[in-house]
Amino acid sequence: MNKYTIDLANTCLGCKKPLCQKGCPVGTPIETMIRMFLSGEIADAGKMLFENNPLSVICSLVCPHEKHCEGHCILNKKKTAVSVGAIEHYISDFYMNSTEFEKPKHNGHNVAIVGSGPAGIALAFILAAKGYGITMYDGHSKIGGVLRYGIPDFRLDKRVLDKLIDRLKQLGVKIRRNIMIGKHITVDDLFRDEFKAVFISIGVNIPKKLNIKGESLGHVHFAVNYLKDHRAYDIGKKVIVLGAGNVAMDAARTAIRSGAKEVIIMYRKGEDNMPAEKHEIECAKLDGVKFDFYKEPIEIVEDGLLYKRTDEEGVTGHEKADAIFISISQNPNDILVKNANIEVSDRGLVNIDDTGMTSKKGVFSAGDIVTGARTVVEAVAFSKKVAVSIEEYIDKEYK
């Protein structure tokens, strides 16, 4: 057993009312997890974590722990918080690699899941384990959504995701790749083919434009697309990233690892206003990413961009660069919801009721397509609630 992980676990005070659990969106029983681990019950601890959060092995790597569990640890008042993420990952990884899942008996009901990101995978695990026949649909050749195409390898080893997908298959989940529901097959087609409910979790992956001159030039790229396959891009030696969210941080850090000698994040506000998690910002700084505040792009030119300072009226400048990444936010892909006549908000996000059902009967939704970009663990939390609603709906409609 890893001595380092044991040492980390031993820093836990075993609080009777653990604030760390309250800070977790899925209520992970952290104190119980650590106690079981130190008592030699690692397999049972892993099972408990998985049943509470099917994506525990991934959340333990990519969660903003300083915002959730670790940020609520009582030890923050005097010293460093318990390294919950590292302990949870050790236990969850052990469980995933040592446990074979068995396909349960089919309960007679099939559910279609459109989109294979965190929300879709979580729902698939929950319902498949209860005997529902699950088919997942995704427009890419590999499933995982943002887990595969939006989080860099240095933050999430894709072998961890592949192991999770193997476990889905063991539960009998069918996966149909390279298919766009709403374009090739409609939601009505799914109901025709006797799916009792449809779950939409297609995320928000259409990049927003700046709408300034020069945005169509050849050295301009959308950061969210760059992260999907960074090896396909020739970015040169100097890169400017426009935007300051988590996607911008990931794109900047990936560019550094892809050979760029200078990467600058340019943002129209100050450091305190950056939407990225503080931990992600600190990691970008450690990787050598530079930050240029109070500058707003007004035109992209062949050798870089023109900007104006937002803190000094009338002051403009010219910053040279080989590549420009645009990372100001993402919109949902609206093909599916438009073709299915599903109601959306002014932002294009899917409207749902208290049960997670959309305006179309039998169609449920959760994840970023409902809430906008959120964390993986928050997507899991929403999916857990919707899973209950889907079961109740099927029990009522198909007795």
Residue 203 has pLDDT above 90, yes or no: no
pLDDT tens-digit readout, 210-232: 999 999 999 999 999 999 999 99
Whether 256 and 322 share a structural domain: yes
| Rounded CA separation 85/122 (Å) | 19
What pLDDT sits at residue 79?
78
Residue 293 lies in a domain: yes
- Given 274, 307, 329, the domain boundary residue is 329
Say if residue 196 is in the same domain as residue 130.
yes
Residues 115 and 197 in one domain: yes
DSSP 75: G
Q: Which residues contact 358 (CB under 8 A, 6 or more apart)?
A: 200, 342, 343, 350, 351, 352, 364, 365
The whole-angstrom distance between residue 125's C-alpha and the CA centroid of its chain comes to: 17
Do 74 and 125 share a structural domain?
Answer: no
Provide the CATH number for the domain around residue 143.
Answer: 3.50.50.60
User: From CA 24, how far away is CA 84, in angstroms rounded?
Assistant: 11
Write out pLDDT tens, residues 146-185. 999 999 999 999 999 999 999 999 999 999 999 999 888 9
Least confident of 74-83, 137-146, 214-223, 373-382: 74-83
Is residue 280 domain-shared with residue 222, that is, in the same domain? yes
Note whether residue 352 is domain-resident.
yes
127 and 222 both lie in a single domain: no
Residue 1 pLDDT: 54
- Given 55, 78, 98, the domain boundary residue is 98
Assess if residue 104 is contained within a domain: no
Measured CA to CA, the distance from residue 49 to residue 26 in angstroms comes to 10
Sheet containing 363-365: order of strands: 174-176, 133-137, 110-114, 197-200, 363-365
- Average of per-residue pLDDT across 120-147: 96
pLDDT grade for 390, boundaries at 50, 70 and 90: very high
45: domain range? 3-98
User: Interior CA angle at 174 toward 337 and 206, to 5°?
Assistant: 35
**Distance in angstroms between the alpha carbons of the first and the last residue of the chain:** 49
Q: Indicate whether 213 and 320 sit together in one domain.
A: yes
> Which pLDDT value is given to residue 101?
95
- Of the given ranges (172-181, 244-253, 343-352), which has the lowest mean pLDDT? 343-352
Any domain includes 105: no
Same domain? For 269 and 185 the reply is no
**33-42, 248-257, 333-342: least confidently modelled range:** 333-342
Give the span between the Cα atoms of 334 and 337, in whole angstroms: 5
- Whether 399 has a pLDDT exceeding 80, the answer reads no
In a domain? residue 28: yes
Q: How many domains does the chain have?
A: 3
Q: What confidence tier does 205 reach under pLDDT thresholds 50, 70, 90?
A: confident
For residues 157 and 62, membership in a common domain is answered with: no
Question: What are the tens digits of pLDDT across the range 255-310?
Answer: 999 999 999 999 999 999 999 999 999 999 999 999 999 999 999 999 999 999 99
Q: Give me the percent of the chain exceeding a pLDDT of 70.
A: 100
CATH number at residue 10: 1.10.1060.10
Q: Are residues 200 and 336 in the same domain?
A: yes
| 190 exposure class (CB count in 10 Å sphere: 0-12, 13-18, 19+) | buried
Residue 45, pLDDT above cutoff 70: yes
Q: Is residue 103 part of a domain?
A: no
pLDDT band at 4 (very low <50, low <70, confident <90, very high): confident
Whether residues 324 and 357 fall in one domain: no
User: Are 293 and 361 found together in one domain?
Assistant: no
Where among 275, 294, 329 does a domain terminate?
Answer: 329
Site of tokens 């649909």: 137
Within a 13 Å sphere around the CA of 339, how many CA atoms are in the beta-carbon half?
14
In a domain, 302, yes or no: yes
In the structure, what pLDDT confidence band is assigned to residue 313 with cuts at 50, 70 and 90?
A: confident
